[in-house]
Each structure stands twice: as C-alpha cells, then as structure tokens.
Amino acid sequence: SQTIHQWPATLVQPVGSPLSLECTVEGTSNPNLYWYRQAAGRGLQLLFYSVGIGQISSEVPQNLSASRPQDRQFILSSKKLLLSDSGFYLCAWSDGTVYEQYFGPGTRLTVT
Amino acid sequence: ELKVEQNPLFLSMQEGKNYTIYCNYSTTSDRLYWYRQDPGKSLESLFVLLSNGAVKQEGRLMASLDTKARLSTLHITAAVHDLSATYFCAVDIANYGQNFVFGPGTRLSVLP
C-alpha cells in the first residue's frame, strides 16, 4: 500500500530564516505531487504541483519554491521566510487515472 | 475567475437529524472530490465523483454530482457526534488532476 510522509511535523522559524520541508511517497511510482498551504481556519491553496522529476508548476507567485529531485520526493523551500508564510503545509500525491489526492500528515509552520 | 463555494460554512446540528451541504462551482468540470478534516489533522478522502449523476454512499454520508448545474451535495443522514469535522469539496478544473480548487469548507458540529 502507499504511504506519504512529511517532516518535520511542526516548525517554528524566525522571519528571514530559510525553510526546507520534505515529502516522500512510498509504494507507488511516478506519482503527481502537490504542495498546499492552509491558513488558520481557511481552505487549501495549491502552491505547486509536479508530474515528474524536475517538472514543477507554480500556481501562485510567492516567497516559496519547490523541487522534485527524485521520483517520490518533493521539497518545499524558501530562502527567507515572511510572517505570512505561517500555516499548515500539506503534501499530497495522486496517480494518473482517478486523480484522487491523498494527503500527508502535514507540517505546521509558525514564523515569528 | 474560478469560484468554489460551499454552504453553509458553519453547521450545528443535533444527533439524529438530516442535513445537506452544498458545493457550487463556476467552471466546467466532471470531477469533484469530498474530503474530511478533523481539527489539527490532515485531509481524508471521502468521495470521488467522476461523472454527471454520480452518487456515492458511505455509512451516513451520501454525495452526488450534477455537472450541468455545477453542484455537488453531501447529505448527512441521522447525524452522530463522530461526524463532527470540517468538510471540503474540491473541483478538478483541469480534469486531469493538475489543478484542484478547494471550497472554503463547512465546519460541522453534531451536538448530543
């Protein structure tokens, strides 16, 4: 069966510091991968999606970037965090047929 | 601009009652998904609706899709406390999984 991991689970970072969040998927190959952000009490905003290694599409201009160095690894990064980057970051994967997205446990980021 | 709307946004209901959550969207799509989120947790997939007239049921929840009306419903039958959560609908506006747009969520509270 497939599983999706995210780490860290929680993170407190000062403004201006760098960020690296990691997501890995097991039990499938060539998944579509997604990064979402959820602000407190809000819905989900799609940040990035990837259909293959090195292929990243960005949905909104922002202070963040994403990379996919391996088939089942997706990384979210920032060079300098802003207060507005605080939120709950969720990674998800889907296959190429039904496209149902399966979400990881999330990383709760607080920028202070 | 694509809009995915849900109503109500907040719902407080008594155990044993029935109610319906509505999800309206403003663009053509044949794919709609429902998710559940418990407080502080990730999203859990509930239903995948892939064509006009699709109906899925699981326990006390039933979801349907009317692509012509651009409307999906999530019907709750004889609510129990365990159903308390936030429910999100998501529309696949690209129809191939690369761009999900989520509604704002409906926060359901089932009271004894």
Confidence of residue B97 (pLDDT cuts 50, 70, 90): low
Q: What is the pLDDT of residue B26?
A: 92
Maximum average pLDDT range among A29-33, B55-59, B100-104: B55-59
**Mean pLDDT computed over every residue of chain B:** 92
Q: What is the pLDDT of residue B98?
A: 65
Flag if A101 and B104 touch (Cβ within 8 Å).
no
Strand segments, DSSP code E, in B1-112 are 4-7, 10-14, 19-25, 32-37, 43-49, 55-58, 61-66, 71-76, 85-92, 100-102, 106-111
Report pLDDT digits (tens) over B11-45.
999 999 999 999 999 988 888 999 999 999 999 99
Report whether pLDDT(B64) > 70: yes
Instruction: List C-alpha distances in Å: B41 to A21, A104, B44, B102.
Output: 17, 10, 9, 17
- Choose the closest CB to A43 out of B31, B45, B88: B88
How many contacts does A have with B, using Cβ atoms within 8 A?
53
Report whether pLDDT(B100) > 90: no
Q: What is the pLDDT of residue A17?
A: 97
Flag if A103 and B31 touch (Cβ within 8 Å).
no
Q: What is the pLDDT of residue B14?
A: 94
- Count of structural domains within chain A: 1
Q: What's the whole-number mean pLDDT along residues B89-107?
A: 83
Question: B76 or B2, which is more confident?
Answer: B76
B48 touches chain A (CB under 8 A): yes
User: Which residues of chain A fall below pLDDT 50?
Assistant: none
Mutate to test the interface with B, among A99, A107, A109 (most CBs of B within 10 A): A99
Q: What is the pLDDT of residue B96?
A: 61
Closest chain A residue by Cα to residue B87: A43
Mutate to test the interface with B, among A51, A101, A108 (most CBs of B within 10 A): A101
Q: Where are the domains of chain B?
A: 4-111
Mutate to test the interface with A, among B35, B42, B49, B99 (most CBs of A within 10 A): B42
Strand partners, A50: A33
Structure tokens at A95: 């296959």
> What CATH number does the domain containing A72 carry?
2.60.40.10
A55 touches chain B (CB under 8 A): no
Q: What is the pLDDT of residue A71?
A: 95
Q: What is the pLDDT of residue A97?
A: 72
State the residue range of the domain holding A82: 3-111
Q: What is the pLDDT of residue B38?
A: 95
CATH topology assigned to domain B4-111: Immunoglobulin-like (2.60.40)
CA distance A97 to B65: 19
